[in-house]
Structure 1
């Protein structure tokens, strides 16, 4: 569950729900380096169409890795107990106020058939605007075990943190 980078202090809780993209980013970066390092030395036996196709695939992987690194991996949700507010921080770009603790609700969002993820949203607008805070879970045994672990180690601490604000 370290892939969520959950950190709890007495006044703040932070989670990076998309930090789990890091292995995919590293794999794409490695594959693109391999493509750009080996294709020039393939000699004359490779025709130009194949060479340019491989360069295109490598470029797409580089752009995908850069995009995910800048706009997904670094996204952090900060639950600030002092203000009772949840922020979405995309370092180093912006800090956006999403909602107060009282407005927050956790919902199950289903995208693809048989898939589900957890998201936070404002109580009266949760289906119009919500923010995913988990991986996608399916109905497989392995995914059910990952979901149970997520609920125990990430989701329940978030709910307890938000509830403890009301009692302080």
Structure 2
């Protein structure tokens, strides 16, 4: 979410400031800035729809995990027995938790946490995440069906 806010703010600044700088900005620079602003807007919208706005449904009765994306229908991901939790690293020094099917977890996985770094504040957030979110998920999945 912070990246979306930064991109939205920068695009508003670009689209708000460039028309007033018309007298000293060259035609090519002006439209290059408009292009950069448009790319940031599209990236922020894409990131919001497909990454931030994703929810996971753990259906205890059926023993199935679904991925729900607001503008789309729910997608069946895997059975409880197939689920494994892994640590993935998308950027150097950063780590996040993801779920995937056993034996295929590195080919297709789904992020279920924010990115954690090695700072004190991030370590505290990670510890809180593990205690309040990750452990209850594991207990829920491993418990018997109702």
Same fold (TM over 0.5): yes
What per-residue deviation string (whole Å, max 9, x for no partner) do you get for residues 57-95 of structure 1?
211111111111221222111111121100011122132
- Larger RCO (CA under 8 A, 6+ residues apart): 1
Deviation at 1:124, TM superposition (A): 2.3
After superposition, where does 1:1-168 map in structure 2 within 5 Å?
A: 21=1, 23-164=2-143, 166=144, 168=146
How much is the aligned-residue C-alpha RMSD, in angstroms? 1.8
> Is the partner of 2:81 in helix, strand or coil?
coil
Are residues 94 and 59 of structure 1, via their aligned partners in 2, closer, same or farther at CA, if it must alter by over 3 Å?
same
Describe the shift of the 1:111–1:33 C-alpha distance in structure 2 as closer, same or farther (beyond 3 A).
Answer: closer
Q: For residues 91 and 13 of structure 2, what CA distance do their matches in structure 1 show? A: 33
Unaligned runs of 5+ residues in structure 2 are none
Following superposition, the deviation at residue 25 of structure 1 comes to: 2.1
TM-score by length of 2: 0.87
TM-score, normalised relative to structure 1: 0.77
Relative to 1, partners in 2 of residues 1:65 and 1:95: Cα closer, same or farther, differing over 3 Å?
A: same
- Which secondary structure state, in structure 2, belongs to the residue aligned with residue 93 of structure 1? coil
Total equivalences in the alignment: 146
